[in-house]
Each structure stands twice: as C-alpha cells, then as structure tokens.
Structure 1
Amino acid sequence: MSQIDSLHRQHLLSRRDVLSRAGAGFGAIALAGMFAEEQNLLGAPESPLFLPHKAGTARNVIFLFMDGGPSHLDTFDPKPLVNEYAGKPLPPSIKRVITPMGVTENGLLASKRTWKNCGQSGLPVSDWYPRVGEWMDDICVIRSCTSDALNHVGGVTQMNTGSILGGRPSLGAWVHYGLGSENRNLPGYVVLLDGDREPPGGNRVWGAGFMSAGHQGTKFLPGDHPILHLSSPAEISDHRQRRKLDYINQINRDHLARRPGDSELEARIASYELAFQMQAHAPEAVNLAEESQATHEVYGLNQKRTQAFGKNCLLARRLIERGVRFVQVYSGSGSRWDAHAKIEQNHTELCGATDQPIAALLQDLKQRGLLEETLVVWGGEFGRTPMSEKGDGRDHNPYGFTMWLAGGGVKGGQIIGATDDFGMHAVSRPVHVHSLHATILAALGLDHTEVIYRLQGRPERPTVNEGEVIDEVFG
C-alpha cells in the first residue's frame, strides 16, 4: 500500500470524504477536480496536500500572539517567593543564565498581582486576566515552555518558524502546505495585526521560506478596511474582469512554462485568481456590521482600549467559520509587551486590551459549536525574568515561560509542567517550541515527522527534526 493510500484510510470524515465516497465513484471525479482546482488556486504544484495522518481533534487554529513577551509570573504562574526576595538577587540555588541585558544579579521585582483560583479546576489566574479566568476549565496551561532565543527577532522567528534564524516556513505555512485550504475564495492563512508596526523579523515570520510563496500568510490591515482594493471600478463588469484575469494568467503561464519552479511567479498567478475570488466573497467575510450590537459589545468593539484587538478576535471567528485554516492575531504589534520598565503600566494596558476579547472569543466559539474544532493558542515569544532591569520592569526569559491552549480537543482545567520557585527555569516537563508546534500539528491530524518538504533532495520538517507531541494536552 502506498503512503498516500495509507493516509486516505486514516483521515477524518470531511467534505473530501463525502465527495470521494458519494455516487458510486462519481464523487471521486469531483474530488480530483477539486484537488486540481485547489492546487491551481494555491499556486503550489509541489504540495502533496496531505490528508491528515490520523483523526485530528481540530480543523482550524487561532493563534493569539502577545508580541514582546508577556510575564508568566504576573498572569498564569504565581511565584510567592519572588515577593519574599524582592530587592534581593536570586538565591545561589537558582542557575544563572545569559540574558541580553545582563541583569541576573539585580534585585527581584515584586509582583503586585492578586490571584484567584478559577473554575472547578481551581487554576490560578491573576487579576490582569479575570475574564479569561472564567474559562480555565477549558484551558490547558503549559508552564514549562522553552525557547532558544534571547532577543525578540530570534524569539518571534522561532515561535513562528521553529528556528531563531530567518528563512524557514512559518507554522501556518506548514499547515497550509499539509492540509490546503477549506475555502477557495479566501486565503488559507491570515495574519491580523492590531497596529501599523510589524513584529520583529517582519513579514518573514508568516512567510513560506523555501516553499512556494503560495503558502505564506496573508496580512490583513488593521482598521475598518482590512483588505484594500476589493471592489472593481463601477465601469468594469465581472465578465470583463474575468476575461482580463484569464488573459493575464495565460501570459503568466506561458512564461512559467519556460521557467519551471519559479515559485514567486506561481504565487503571483495564484494571487490574481484568489484576488478575483475575494472580490466576491471577502467583503462579506470582513463585514463586522453584520454582527449584532450585543456581539460588538461582548468583544469590546465599543471601547477604545479593547476595540482593535476585539475586532481582530471577532474577525478571526468569522474567518475560521468560513474555512480559513490558520489565523494569527497579534496583540501589541511591534513588541509592545516588552516591559523592561514600567511593567505595571505596560501590562495593565495590554492585558486590559486583550482580556475581554479573548474571553468573548472563547464564549462565541463555544456557543456556536466551533470551540471543539478550533484550537486556540495564547502566548508570546518568551516570558520574563523575576529580576528588575530598570527598577520596575522584567527582562526576557526563554528558559521557562507559559503558553496555553483551549478547544480543538484540548483537555481543559489542567497545568502541564512547572518552573522553579522564581519562574526562571522549566524544571518539570520542559516543552520546547518544537514540541509546542508538534502538538498543534497533532491536533490537526498531522504527524510532524511525516509532513516533509524536499529541499534540494533534503527532507525538511516543520519541527526541524526535533520535538515531541505533548500527549497530556489531549487528556
């Protein structure tokens, strides 16, 4: 039995199953046509469009990215000894580390947070995230995450691509490469920023790296018009636009035939086609005016502090509802969570901007029956140290920090792993970024060791040949 035959036997019952099994084989004809059309739209003839390797627990991912590194010590991983040692250096029993600021011997900064044990599970959450705290029975908190990066560029790049060095495909690109898109009229991978600045590393953190450019994320713009130039001029009919596009595509394909393997040209051809489809379908997808006033209020769209992130959370729900596979929602675009100083002011603002929208997203997904098939991920590129760099801030900490997962088959109300008594190092069940990525892929039914892209004959995998699935996440 070939590998693809084996994969066909193991995948989830989906629209492809229905087509392939329907009509005594006639569905297979439609399936073949759909594959061909999907590859054409993706501009990715090299994509195997894997069927899931096994029955996944999720169909979509919403990754809530706190750009700059939120403090786990002040949100989801309380450390009372930090307050007891406030103003003093770390005790000798705690291993010294390299930080970009060289502040390991500075006095510890006390946390001003109050904590509440939330839900039936009793998981502790600080007063910076009270509304998210109401959902802890649906959330799995991983307290022992680790990264290889000391600075933001490397950290954001690794959390997105698996490597601190630029040039590799992003996780969303790997998902798109492995599973394709469920909507031929919208991008399969969308990035939503809450400001004009991009994260450190720029658009390469949602890029396709050495893959076809057709797998890269599509950045929507912040504000009321996330996609520019959707509408054709009034004097241009759909028929005329279609003929124009067909002519341009024919010229491009003739050019491509003489230059096989030009992924940039393939992506351009695909982008023309996708843009034409989006003119008809995207305006409805991004039209938040279709939502009720009550929905606007629960997401915080009527409040200045929560408006930008709330819009993007609501938009993320609308996109995955329409088959977009992977949506990344940035908070604090441009490393605004980077609180080396004035952490009280910084995190009070940013937690306040995200708490209500995140809780609204979880509530909305659950009420619509979407949470069970949508994996929600929260976190940043690293955590923060217990030391004070500038008297009232915290430094970068890739040695032990918190991420959390919800929905998509995740067993909520549990904590996995632990950091030491000062939140400095992961000391129990360390979870490297590669393992986090492997777990996200596993939720989608993809084996991170079997999703392979051959680069000049060398097999490349999304987790850089490392990592393991954290099975406890799924209970």
Structure 2
Amino acid sequence: MENEFLKNRLNITRRHFFGQAAAGIGGLALGSLLVPDLFKGGESSQAMPLGLAHFAPKAKRVIYLCQNGAPSQYESFDHKPLLNKMAGTDLPESIRGGQRLTGMTASQDKFPLVGSFYGFKQYGKSGAFVSDLFPHIGSIADDLCIIRTMNTDAINHDPALTFLQTGAQVGNRPSMGAWMSYGLGSENKNLPAFCVLLSRGRGNGQGVYSKLWTNGFLDSTHQGVVFSSSEDPILYLNDVEGIDKAGRRRMLDQLAELNHEGFQENKDPEVEAKVQQYEMAYRMQTAVPELTDLSKEPDYIVKMYGPECLVPGTYAANVLLARKLSESGVRFVQIYHQGWDSHGNLPKEMAMQAQDVDRSSAALITDLKQRGLLDETLVIWGGEFGRTNYCQGQYTLDNYGRDHHPRAYSIFMAGGGVKPGTVYGETDEFGYNVIKDPVHIHDFHATVQHLMGINHEQLTYKHLGRRYRLTDVAGNVLPGLIA
C-alpha cells in the first residue's frame, strides 16, 4: 500500500524512470563532448569550465594583426592639420605638461612639431580621415571602428608590447591568445586554439619573443603554436624516414602509457599537457599540409591580397593563412609584423611598411565579409604605442623621425560585434593628449573578451595564492565600441 502511494504521489513508473534517466545520461554525454572539462573532478582553479562562454558571444574568433614597432598615428588615422601649419615651431610646454620622455629625446632642448609628409582623405559614410598611405584600408572605412585614444603605461618597446599582449609589463603572464584558449578552447580538435605567424617589413625593426605568446602559468597546451616563415610552416611535423603512420601511432600510444604512469606518481599537470601536445601534433599531420598550401588559392583571392600572398613568410601570405586558420576554427590567430620603429627617415620607411600591409589588411576584412565570417571574426590592427608629434633629432620637412608616445595613439578593429563606421575618441589639436573617450590597454582587453562572450573579471586562474586575470585588477568594457 505504501509503494502504491509513493508511485501515485510522485507519478513515477518503471518505464518513466528509465526513460528520464536515459535522457539525463544522454545530456551528460553531450555536455562532456561539447565541454570536455565540464564534469572534471577535484578542485579546479578555473572560474569557468574550459570551452564555455559566460554569455552569448558576438565573436567566435580573433585575428590580431599586431604592427610591431608602433606605426605613427599622424601618418595613418589621426589627421592633425595644425601640425603642418606649425611645423618647425616648438611644442608648447602646456601641451606636453612635463610628461615622461624616452632617453632618446629627453636631452633635446627643443621639440619641433612636424606634420605628416602625406595627405589625408575622408572615406565612406563615416567620413573617417585616413592617410594616403593606406588607400585600401580607407576604402573599407565603413567596416572599421577606428580608435584614436588608445593609451598605455609603458614608453619603451619591450614592456609596452608585453603589456599589450599579456596585460602586464613583466614576463610570465599568459598572453591574450592563451587566455582565449584557456577560457574557450578550440573549435577544431585537429588544430591548436592559438597560432602565431611572424613577418618582417622593410622598415626599422623591433624583435619579438616567445613571452608574447606564452601560456605563462597556464597549462602549456594554451601557448601559441608558432608557424615558420619557410615553405614548411610547421617544422618536424612530417614522419621521419622509416616511420609510417601506424608506427607513429603505436609509439605515441606507448609513450602516453608511460607518461600516464608518471603522472600517477608525481601528479604534475604538465605531463598530461605533454601527452595532449603529442596528440595534437599527430592530428595536425593530416590537417596542416592542405591548410597551409596557398598555391591552390583562386586567382580572385590572389588579386585581392596581392601577388606577395603566394610568397611564404610575407605579411600578405600570413594574413591569407590567418583567414584560412580562422575559417578552420582556430580561436586566436596572432600576426606580428616588424618594421614600424621610425625614429628617423619616417616618410620613406613608413611608406614601405604601408605598402606591405595596406592591401592585404583590407583584403582580409573584405574576404571575411564576402564569406559571411566577418560578423563572427574580430580583426584587430595596431601597435604597442604611438609616435610623438615632434621630431626626434634634426628636423626637415621630408626626412624626420618620431619618438615613442604612449599617451594617445590609433588602432582599428572590424567585425566581431564592434560598431562599424565609427571613429571613437578624440585627441587635442596637437594629437598629444586624449580629450574624449580614453581607451586604456586594460579597457581594450576587457572589451575584446566581452566580444568573445567572456566576463573579464570572472576568467581567472589561481597562481601562487592569487587569482590572476588578463586585465589584472582594472579594465572596463566600453559600450561605445560595441554594435
């Protein structure tokens, strides 16, 4: 009688119980496939499960075109005609306000203003001013969100670039791409979540280094995988002579068994991470060769990106490869293009750099748009700081250089939920100080993570007794940048 009462009270039959249990188990199985670490046992330092966004993202992937060396905003996206009118006169002390200088210009008695050697035009419905050095980028101005008020804490290249990429001026912090890999995982199990491509322009270069794409204190599976600029983008990916695919599989299986035994003894997570890296390399053997073969691209694509896109290691080739990687599900593709450090002979050096990047940068955005991928792909273009409005060293109208300027500089973003056809922020008439809508590096990071569906305050990792995040203890999402 009691059993009959409970059955009626709970409305449960044997058939109903097993039917509901099957559905629940199926849901758990699906969840474990979509989010591999969702049901992982034990204490975790993660604030959210790997592969799970905090809220619906506007973007799924990022392509970051980092212009290493700091392009001048005065010859790109911040038109300041007053500098041409006052060329050769000294920068007013009231504008400089005793702000910090580098060791290269701190000893100068005078700070002669210098205007752009190149003209500007207004483009599109937005009327954005873009330098004549970048006509292709100007032609897509209505797809761009140009930020003129980026500012940073660092005044020299190494700490500034490290700060831009990791949120800290010192090393051993996870980079932007590593945080994305950690928080969101990869969309393609046969490719890394974070890939790095390097190119060298014709201007004065600054070095890049592995701490810019490091995993820091995160598992090493989240570090950036660097592609070579040679015809063989992934070194040592092919099997050596005498080892076939089946033999390599047996070797990896046996190695994994030994590593798992070692893990049971020392519980070092890097042992498990190494097994995952071996498995990724094995899967990449199938996926990478076809993906990195640019020779089969149709003629209209080559024409769009320019003939250099078929030359391995060039910026154009890397941008095209970045599109293919992103299209294949790579979460974060980072390009570093060196050569923008124009302390002298800026008109000539910057013209060569612009020629290297203008066409293919614009082509990437147009290509993504034509494929219906721009809305879900965030493209970022810019350097680690800006350039001074005064001349470094001796001044002439057609041969001048600019020093580092962290207080205000320009970048642009496109796609991925940013507001198109927008010029955000305003600098003073000298272009030296921000007077409206500043964008600090931490704000930039917070906004990029927001576009990817991440609450920057919640994506943390506990290390040495403290919870770290990309934005440290600062940063605000900027609604004015978001569509």
1:431 aligns with 2:439: yes
Q: CA deviation at 1:107?
A: 0.9
Q: CA deviation at 1:48?
A: 2.9
Letter in 2 for 1:68: G
Write the distance in 2 (CA, Å) between the matches of 1:35 and 1:199.
40
Q: CA deviation at 1:420?
A: 1.6
Residue from 180, 187, 212 that aligns with 2:192: 187
Letter in 2 for 1:301: P
Q: CA deviation at 1:259?
A: 1.9
1:101 aligns with 2:97: no
Equivalent residue, structure 2, for 1:390? 393
SS at match of 2:391: coil
Q: CA deviation at 1:314?
A: 0.5
Cα separation, partners in 2 of 1:184 and 1:304, compared to 1, 3 Å = closer
CA contact (8 A) 2:38 2:49 kept: no
Mapping for residues 82-101 of structure 1, pairs under 5 Å:
82-94=83-95, 95-101=97-103
Q: CA deviation at 1:195?
A: 3.8
Residue from 347, 352, 362 that aligns with 1:349: 352
Letter in 1 for 2:61: N
Cα separation, partners in 2 of 1:431 and 1:455, compared to 1, 3 Å = same
SS at match of 2:336: strand
Q: CA deviation at 1:50?
A: 5.0
Q: CA deviation at 1:200?
A: 4.1
Mapping for residues 145-164 of structure 1, pairs under 5 Å:
145-164=150-169
Cα separation, partners in 2 of 1:89 and 1:390, compared to 1, 3 Å = same
Write the distance in 2 (CA, Å) between the matches of 1:39 and 1:24.
14
Equivalent residue, structure 2, for 1:409? 417
Structure 2 runs not aligned, ≥5 long: 1-21, 395-399
Mapping for residues 142-291 of structure 1, pairs under 5 Å:
142-195=147-200, 200=207, 202-233=209-240, 235-263=242-270, 265-291=271-297
Equivalent residue, structure 1, for 2:315? 309
What's the CA shift string for 1:352-404, capped at 9, x where partnerless? 10000011101110000010100000100001001111331000011111111
Write the distance in 1 (CA, Å) between the matches of 2:287 and 2:379.
25
Cα separation, partners in 2 of 1:198 and 1:433, compared to 1, 3 Å = same
Equivalent residue, structure 2, for 1:19? none
Cα separation, partners in 2 of 1:453 and 1:250, compared to 1, 3 Å = same
What's the CA shift string for 1:185-217, capped at 9, x where partnerless? 111000100149996461001101111111111
SS at match of 1:362: helix
CA contact (8 A) 1:156 1:200 kept: no
Q: CA deviation at 1:151?
A: 0.5
Write the distance in 2 (CA, Å) between the matches of 1:103 and 1:306.
38
1:318 aligns with 2:324: yes
Deviates more, 1:237-246 or 1:311-320: 237-246
Number of residue-to-residue matches in the alignment: 447
SS at match of 1:125: strand
Write the distance in 2 (CA, Å) between the matches of 1:268 and 1:162.
26
Q: CA deviation at 1:268?
A: 2.3
Write the distance in 1 (CA, Å) between the matches of 2:448 and 2:462.
22
What TM-score does the superposition give when structure 1 sets the normalisation length? 0.89
Q: CA deviation at 1:435?
A: 0.5
Cα separation, partners in 2 of 1:38 and 1:136, compared to 1, 3 Å = farther
Q: CA deviation at 1:33?
A: 4.1
Structure 1 runs not aligned, ≥5 long: 1-21
Letter in 2 for 1:386: N
CA contact (8 A) 2:231 2:312 kept: no
RMSD value over aligned CA atoms? 2.5
Q: CA deviation at 1:34?
A: 5.2
CA contact (8 A) 1:103 1:387 kept: no
Letter in 2 for 1:354: V
CA contact (8 A) 1:210 1:455 kept: yes
Letter in 2 for 1:420: D
What's the CA shift string for 1:138-158, capped at 9, x where partnerless? 111111111011110001100
Letter in 1 for 2:360: P
Write the distance in 2 (CA, Å) between the matches of 1:459 and 1:111.
45
CA contact (8 A) 1:339 1:394 kept: yes
CA contact (8 A) 1:377 1:406 kept: yes
Equivalent residue, structure 1, for 2:397? none
SS at match of 2:365: helix
Equivalent residue, structure 1, for 2:26? 26
Deviates more, 1:322-331 or 1:90-99: 90-99
Letter in 2 for 1:377: I
Cα separation, partners in 2 of 1:86 and 1:23, compared to 1, 3 Å = farther
Letter in 2 for 1:261: D
Write the distance in 1 (CA, Å) between the matches of 2:45 and 2:291.
27
Paired-residue identity, %: 39
Write the distance in 2 (CA, Å) between the matches of 1:304 and 1:390.
39
Larger Rg: 2
SS at match of 1:182: coil
Q: CA deviation at 1:24?
A: 7.5
Write the distance in 2 (CA, Å) between the matches of 1:167 and 1:200.
18
Letter in 1 for 2:295: A
Cα separation, partners in 2 of 1:444 and 1:253, compared to 1, 3 Å = same
SS at match of 1:385: strand
Deviates more, 1:454-463 or 1:186-195: 454-463
Cα separation, partners in 2 of 1:306 and 1:224, compared to 1, 3 Å = closer
Write the distance in 2 (CA, Å) between the matches of 1:345 and 1:305.
23
1:129 aligns with 2:134: yes
Write the distance in 1 (CA, Å) between the matches of 2:165 and 2:462.
20
Write the distance in 2 (CA, Å) between the matches of 1:303 and 1:281.
20
Equivalent residue, structure 2, for 1:18? none
SS at match of 2:94: coil
Residue from 371, 376, 380 that aligns with 2:379: 376
Letter in 2 for 1:29: A
Write the distance in 1 (CA, Å) between the matches of 2:326 and 2:196.
12
Write the distance in 1 (CA, Å) between the matches of 2:325 and 2:45.
25
What TM-score does the superposition give when structure 2 sets the normalisation length? 0.87
Write the distance in 2 (CA, Å) between the matches of 1:439 and 1:36.
27
Equivalent residue, structure 1, for 2:55? 54
